[in-house]
A and B are shown apart, each in its own frame.
Chain A
Amino acid sequence: MIDVLVIGGGNAALCAALMAREAGASVLLLEAAPKEWRGGNSQHTRNLRCMHDAPQDVLVDAYPEEEYWQDLLKVTGGITNEHLARLVIRESSTCRDWMRKHGVNFQPPLSGALHVARTNAFFMGGGKALVNAYYRSAEALGVQIRYEAPVDAIELDNGRFVAARIGDERITARSCVLAAGGFESNREWLREAWGQNERGEWPADNFLIRGTRFNMGVLLKFMIDAGADTIGDPSQSHCVAIDARAPLYDGGICTRIDCVSLGVVVNREAKRFYDEGEDFWPKRYAIWGRLTAMQPGQIAYSIIDAKAIGRFMPPVFPGVKADTLPELARKLGLDEAQFMRTLTDYNTACRVGTFDHTKLDDCHTEGVEPIKTHWARPIDTAPFYGYALRPGITFTYLGLKVDDTAAVRFNDEPSDNLFVAGEMMAGNVLGKGYTAGVGMSIGTAFGRIAGTRAAASALAQRAQGAQREAA
């Protein structure tokens, strides 16, 4: 019998498998996806949010524990667990040497991402390069890996893991780590979670999935039905506004639209609905998904003029371009009269001071609702561009409740051989909101803990078995 069974094939699963193997356990990893799609959402990630008290290789200055914690507190609006969050934060300051040992390479921040040079360590080549490195290292260490192995059920005995099932196949192990992702790819579940709004719409039907198509939440559902303790609101997720033309799955990073703060955003009724200049875009991008989800038809349009070109990361698809604002309204299919009223109101409300996109400048609006607090300049220079936006879900926050051992719990009693890591438990730390790179910090910290605990549990069982045989 195998010692540790790891269910899942992304960052958390790989961290668990590597730690368990290093601890001397035999490990089998089951990835639901075929090899070319392996790695879950980790293949789309790009960095790890890291605590550090002094400059460290690719990280500048310092990002102390307290500041990291305050950032997390702010984005989650307090819906977090301080003990677990601080555990993740401290772990993020020490895990990188281990990551490097397993082949992960770090690089200075990407151009256009200098704002996180202090807080985030970038993976050279991105998350897929990290995933590839971990798989190579796991294979070299003798971790058995199976692709296209979607576990659909777990056999439990009084809160203890007994076996995993793939259809009729039964795989037993001494202990198990669940790291099979959230339910973001499951459109039915998203639909149910978001429900019907006051307009009679099912908002989730208009969501795009930024990541893998394989996170159907099968195991999460199974564990919830089996009575495992849960945490989190199923409608909460890492949700950003992305290009409406993005593919239904796996659009990843390149579908984001970064010009919101340089212009205005209107909804299907050609009306503005939120302060586009509230704060720096990296601190606000994660709220615009939800904002867009609240609009009629779950669609919005980011409108900029020629002054913005070259000031934001180029979007993957070119915007709709027009020489006049009415033409732009027509091309976007918006009501021309209302669009012109909205733009004229905004333009006349702009109080332009000294425009500076690198700081919270003094360009703002007066006498228009909603206000735009920074970077407000009239949209008056042709050509004009419009980008249609849709909510893009990265991952969901509903998960299994854990303490610092990563053990799955039933009626608040921890299992002694079943552990959970990654998106399946990220909701313990992330109740809502998001800040760049924290998903990988949680996955790495709890993947490593879960792997270590699972190996210890399995090795203890082996030792007991040997004692019984000897007796």
Chain B
Amino acid sequence: MKQLEALTQQARETAEQPIQWHSKGTAINEMPLSDDENEVARVMQICNACRYCEGFCAVFPAMTRRLEFGKADINYLANLCHNCGACLHACQYAPPHEFGVNVPQAMAKVRVQTYTDYAWPAALGKLYKHNGLTLSLAAAGALALFLVLTISITGGLLHEPLAGDFYAIFPHNTLALMFGLVFVFAIVALGIGVTRFWRDVSPGTASGAAVAQATHDALRLKYLDGGHGKGCNNADDAFTLARRRFHHLTFYGFMLCFAATCVATIYHYVFGWEAPYPYFSLPVILGTLGGIGLLIGPAGLLWLNIKRHPLQGDAAQRPMDRGFIALLFLVSLTGLLLLGLRETSVMGLMLAIHLGTVMALFLTLPYGKFAHGIYRCASLLKSAIEKRQPDSLKLGSD
């Protein structure tokens, strides 16, 4: 028996020799990896030797085109990951296995770092760190601003009914200027961030087909379908299409509201038709439909987020996720309430609250969960481009 023990001990020591994981150094990859990036590199090295999850999403096929994982590769793969959870529940190496492979969690941790690293101006990247606080302060500040403005303009929070005329309280040009400036800033900030990201992941040139595929994959949330069409994981190893559907309601609700604003802007400046618009006018119909989507979608996403398996994703990002979801819900709720109450004496109050939440949303667009859509789309486009390039690896007959 002594001999057996000695030999098992020896085997164990061989097994426990410190293992050096691959790392790579080219271009942007000269920069050292952060701990979270190192974890993705480690996990990808294991996944690349297994590959069972290749059918679930775009991350694993992209992984198989690489033997080593540098900083840019890791940031690209992390943002390509939709946190669908399929690979976690299917993983033979997931905890409690000693390899402790948790792809969705490792990717999520790097994603928030991508948003932070590429944020413009760089100093504001810190806002991702305590994002729940960021969102709360933005909401409180913006609300206070509009309440104070309302009081100073109308002399109080209540007023005689104004037949839904917002501009009696806030002149149209004031609103257009305030929101226009903040919105343009958000677009510029996100644009600069994603452009830098795009350059670092060295994507190559986008063909029409690649753009079409990326657009399709983004708009249909292809990678929340699980690869088999039954959906992604949420609370456990069962598949559900709920997340995909609630996200569609949220995204398309948001887009309808945005379209409502655009149509109203055209009405105002091109045709000189001023708000308030009747209930069955195009801007109000678009806004109402979008608003309903933006109530149900975020409510469903919040419910799914609360039910989510604790290992799926990064628990530290819940305040960011839920804060953003809550803000979207509030924007929609206050907008619909404003519509319903616009003939009454609380219109001014509702308007102030609604504008406050919208302003909070706009202010935090470049420094909150909204960024995921931008970086995700960039990564989907890179994936679509890369798929069309020849694979440099020749894995022979095996």
Contact = CB atoms under 8 A, between A and B. Distances in A.
Contact of B237 (A132, A245, A248, A388): A132
A125 B67 contact: no
Contact of B396 (A125, A136, A357): A357
Contacts of A357: 394, 396-397
Interface string A329-361: 000000000000000000000000000011100
Contact of A111 (B14, B19, B64, B97): B64
A126 B89 CA distance: 11
Contacts of A125: 52-53, 55-56, 86-87, 89-90
B395 A311 contact: yes
Nearest to B89: A132
A132 B52 CA distance: 15
Contacts of A358: 396-397
B240 to A, nearest CB: 12
Given A136-B238, A247-B15, A126 B228 contact: no
B338 to A, nearest CB: 45
A112 B45 contact: no
Contacts, number: 159
A21 interface: no
A252 B50 CA distance: 9
B12 A248 contact: yes
A316 interface: yes
B7 interface: yes
A191 B14 CA distance: 19
A205 interface: yes
A37 to B, nearest CB: 7
B4 A110 contact: no
A272 B63 CA distance: 34
A36 interface: yes
A254 B50 CA distance: 5
A309 B86 CA distance: 31
A282 B97 CA distance: 27
B278 interface: no
Contacts of B90: 125-126, 128-129, 132
A455 B54 CA distance: 38
B396 A311 contact: yes
A388 B14 contact: yes
Interface string A46-80: 10000000000000000000000000000000000
Given A127-B92, A245-B19, A315-B49, A206 B395 contact: no
Contacts of B12: 248
B178 interface: no
Contacts of A310: 67, 392-395
A313 interface: yes
Interface in B1-40: 3-4, 7-8, 11-12, 14-15, 17, 19-22
B88 to A, nearest CB: 10
Nearest to A191: B4
B369 to A, nearest CB: 28
B237 A312 contact: no
Nearest to A109: B54
Contacts of A262: 396
A254 B19 contact: no
A419 B22 CA distance: 49
Nearest to B45: A316
A312 B49 contact: no
A206 B19 CA distance: 20
A123 B92 CA distance: 13
Contact of B4 (A108, A123, A202, A247): A202
Contacts of A124: 55-56, 227-228
B46 interface: yes
A124 to B, nearest CB: 4
Contacts of A256: 49
Chain B: interface residue count, which band? 35 or more
A306 interface: no
B11 A205 contact: yes
Report whether over half of chain A's contact residues are helix, strand or loop; otherwise say mixed: loop
B15 A105 contact: no
Nearest to A252: B92
A318 interface: yes
A246 B49 CA distance: 13
B346 interface: no
A245 B14 CA distance: 6
A107 B48 CA distance: 17
Interface string A97-136: 0000000010110111101000000111111110010001
B45 to A, nearest CB: 6
B237 A314 contact: no
Given A111-B395, A126-B90, A252-B93, A316 B54 contact: no
A41 to B, nearest CB: 10
Nearest to A248: B15
Given A44-B92, A111-B64, A125-B53, A254 B46 contact: yes
Given A46-B52, A246-B15, A280-B397, A314 B67 contact: yes
Contact of B395 (A107, A205, A280, A312): A312
B90 to A, nearest CB: 3
Nearest to A108: B55
B20 A244 contact: no
B130 interface: no
Nearest to A282: B398
B61 interface: yes
Contacts of B51: 110-113, 313
B282 interface: no
B237 A43 contact: no
22 contacts: A43-B92, A110-B51, A110-B52, A111-B54, A112-B398, A124-B56, A125-B53, A128-B90, A205-B4, A245-B15, A246-B15, A247-B99, A254-B46, A255-B49, A258-B398, A281-B396, A311-B394, A311-B395, A312-B395, A316-B46, A316-B49, A318-B21
Interface of B: 3-4, 7-8, 11-12, 14-15, 17, 19-22, 45-46, 48-56, 61, 64, 67, 86-87, 89-93, 95-99, 227-228, 230, 237-238, 392-398
Given A105-B227, A115-B398, A244-B15, 16 more contacts: A37-B96, A44-B92, A105-B228, A123-B52, A125-B89, A127-B52, A132-B89, A136-B238, A202-B4, A205-B3, A250-B97, A253-B52, A262-B396, A310-B394, A311-B393, A357-B396
